[in-house]
Structure 1
């Protein structure tokens, strides 16, 4: 272990970046999902990696809970622990390296080909002396990683371990909850949304059924922040989240996937009109009058709808369609504003 630390200490610029990451983590508090995403992105940036993944061990599976670079589109992916390097890392609690996935018997070769990686290094993530997951660097080239990369990865995993302890210092279940839910709203976060969307697409395809996806964007959060301050902005985000949850059906997943961005999965619908009806119900609920500390806040959202299978069956295709539809709605609303104010 000391060898890795000494290797990193020879590079002051890297250490400065790691200290900066530590400072940013402190600002994120107990938002473990956001911390995991930040550390994964930094681990990739500070090494020779083309991609980085944080995987949590959940039952007999390893689940991609944070991704960066080459692996970015695979958020929420689930792979069997058995027969994978990540699963072996969890089992042994040791740092493991793979120089060539095509000839290493410890790896899931088909999964590696799907991701497009040839070499990787994985380090265990420990919470209360238990290995709960791994932080992994990947590259499409053979033998891409140096001792310095391994040292950086180990330091970054220690930042994650410290964050895990502060976010959930007693309960393993609490750790999973913190890793998969947004700290401000308690809604599922981006990682859990992708996980559930992957599963929902699979179930809909198996049943030869349909699925709706809503992309939801708050229209005026910046105005609220600028005029009334970030406390009011946070209150607006929380209230919007609660109202969206109230308008949703029990089977729906409402998630916060970014600063002022939300998304909804609508399983078990029969037609695009059903998704559109749910969209209108959500918009109506969100825009009801609301006041924060005596100040009326204008809560409004723009929503885009994607419908499977009509708009595609791939996760990225559906999300792109919902995104385009949301921006089209936002443009129409802005064009209509002058007319509305004249009346």
Structure 2
């Protein structure tokens, strides 16, 4: 059992490597991975169920303790990333399917990987978890509404159908995970220990399926999409940090906002694109899934060298957490 948990931890820490490896394999041998496309939605449901298993009332404590900070994070996430996506599509005059895919990933909620990166960056993990949880719970309303508002000029967007898709693949699995945790309690501890392994396998499979289905189009426009994803993610990380600075938040919270704004639930983006648009529209989400884990790791390493504010250390000490400089 412990060996499986250790394997899970190793796979979780090397997530970006596995995504890169299988994305490359799917590109050069697409026939071996196309069959996974039929299981993208169930795979995402498994990831969300796992998220539900890890949620507790303590994760939402920050919402009531410092609602203004959580509000800033959620507002920044749902304004900055969708706005940047739309602006990049306009300025770069992206092809229709690519534009829709970029906007779609920009409108997704925050990804859970941002919580890990915030911890590594010595940021405010409680704020990070709260923003991730709240943006995920708000996703059935905000994600389809924003996609309809920003992408409808390129393609018809059925916001109602997308709403029900997100309810089915996000809210329902999370709710079942929370219920399972409440009922089974200690019995789910082992399951939580192997969740990184399950999540990595599921995300890698989703990325491989998307790459395999769009191999020819990626070969033609992959460099353009990659450049847009790097710009989108990089500007999101920068503007998230600046948002925290402008609103007077201490350094640890600025780090959390940077990663919460810049990192997306790209698995959801790939699933929605495949279900409602086209395989090519899912490619920005697939590339984002690879890139934001690399950029997130790099920015977290750099943030480690940025001293936190005295206010951060005092708050950490008051909550019984290790105060990190």
Q: TM-score band, normalised by the shorter chain?
A: under 0.3
Higher relative contact order (CA 8 A, sep 6+): 2
With normalisation by structure 2, the TM-score equals: 0.27
